[in-house]
């Protein structure tokens, strides 16, 4: 499925300012300001300056929180977003309620305790982000994430992303029966998205430490509905040649 740009100039804007450059500017700005996020339940709160507010919005990290403060803007980051900014981009630090900076092991333990499937969602999120996809929550479409080629203001999301793992290899896992496939594919088709299944293979590793992510492998599977009419057209073309 080709990208569905929003307007004639949208693609040109995206090419002129690719997501990789936006992330680089964001990374530099957050490092210079020694930014710190605060653990808050199943999210991380990050206070930023107006310039960083714009960069976070453009890079699609978190959601702004409206407050009475004029010079400081607060953003609510998901656990996956915060972990990526902290451990992959290394541009923020994260503190707990005691204001002490958490190391990677402590963050991993905390975030895994809040989400039982955090290790797999985190690996999938990092996998897509490092390929410069914009990744947003996909709960409104019944999936884990949706992936955009650039900012959602410029282009519609292309993929509805489901994250599967060895833990879901039994009969209770998602997409384990035909009806699951049928319902999910119909939903994706109705909103013009392609279903992308990311299967996380642990390679025999545990999930007790962030170092396990280096050993996890991600297998990408595109799932589409079979179109009888299209298949007949292809067969007809092959026969004529």
Active site residues: 148, 156, 193
pLDDT bucket at 239, cuts 50 / 70 / 90:
low
Q: What is the pLDDT of residue 125?
A: 98
Both 109 and 204 in a single domain? no
Query: In Å, how far from its chain's centre is CA 52?
Result: 20
Q: What is the pLDDT of residue 172?
A: 43
Specify which residues 199 forms β-bridges with.
Answer: 164, 219
pLDDT bucket at 171, cuts 50 / 70 / 90:
very low
Report how many domains make up the chain: 2
Q: How many CA atoms lie within 13 A of 213 on its CB side?
A: 21
Over the stretch 53-78, which tens digit does the pLDDT of each residue have? 999 999 999 999 987 777 788 999 99
- pTM strictly above 0.85: yes
Both 91 and 169 in a single domain? no
From 57, 92, 115, the end of a domain falls on 115
Residue 161 belongs to what H/E stretch?
strand 159-165
Domain of 95: which CATH number?
A: 3.40.1170.20
Domain of 155: which CATH number?
A: 3.40.1350.10
Q: What is the pLDDT of residue 229?
A: 60
Residue 99, Ramachandran bin (φ over 0: left; ψ between -120 and 50: alpha; else beta): left
State the residue for tokens 């080629």: 149
Residue 154, Ramachandran bin (φ over 0: left; ψ between -120 and 50: alpha; else beta): alpha
Q: What tokens were used for 99?
A: 């204001």
Domain span holding position 48: 12-115
Over the stretch 89-143, which tens digit does the pLDDT of each residue have? 999 999 998 889 999 999 999 999 999 899 999 999 999 999 999 999 999 998 9
> Phi, psi at residue 97, to the nearest 5°?
-65, -25
């Amino acid at each position: 499925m080709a990208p569905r740009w929003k307007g004639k100039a949208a693609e040109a804007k995206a090419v002129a300012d690719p997501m990789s450059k936006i992330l680089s500017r964001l990374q530099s700005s957050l490092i210079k300001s020694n930014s710190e996020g605060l653990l808050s339940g199943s999210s991380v709160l990050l206070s930023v300056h107006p310039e960083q507010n714009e960069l976070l919005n453009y890079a699609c990290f978190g959601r702004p929180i409206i407050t009475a403060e004029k010079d400081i803007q607060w953003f609510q980051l998901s656990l996956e977003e915060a972990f990526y900014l902290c451990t992959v981009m290394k541009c923020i630090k994260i503190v707990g309620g005691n204001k002490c900076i958490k190391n990677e092991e402590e963050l991993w333990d905390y975030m895994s305790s809040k989400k039982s499937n955090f290790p797999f969602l985190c690996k999938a999120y990092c996998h897509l982000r490092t390929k410069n996809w914009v990744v947003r929550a996909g709960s409104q479409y019944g999936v884990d994430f949706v992936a955009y080629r650039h900012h959602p203001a410029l282009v519609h999301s292309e993929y509805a992303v489901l994250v599967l793992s060895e833990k879901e290899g039994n009969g209770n896992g998602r997409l384990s029966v035909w009806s699951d496939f049928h319902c999910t594919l119909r939903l994706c088709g109705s909103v013009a998205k392609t279903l992308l299944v990311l299967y996380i293979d642990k390679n025999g590793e545990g999930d007790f430490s962030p170092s396990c992510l280096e050993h996890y492998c991600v297998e990408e599977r595109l799932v589409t509905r079979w179109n009888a009419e299209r298949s007949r057209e292809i067969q007809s073309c092959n026969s004529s040649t």
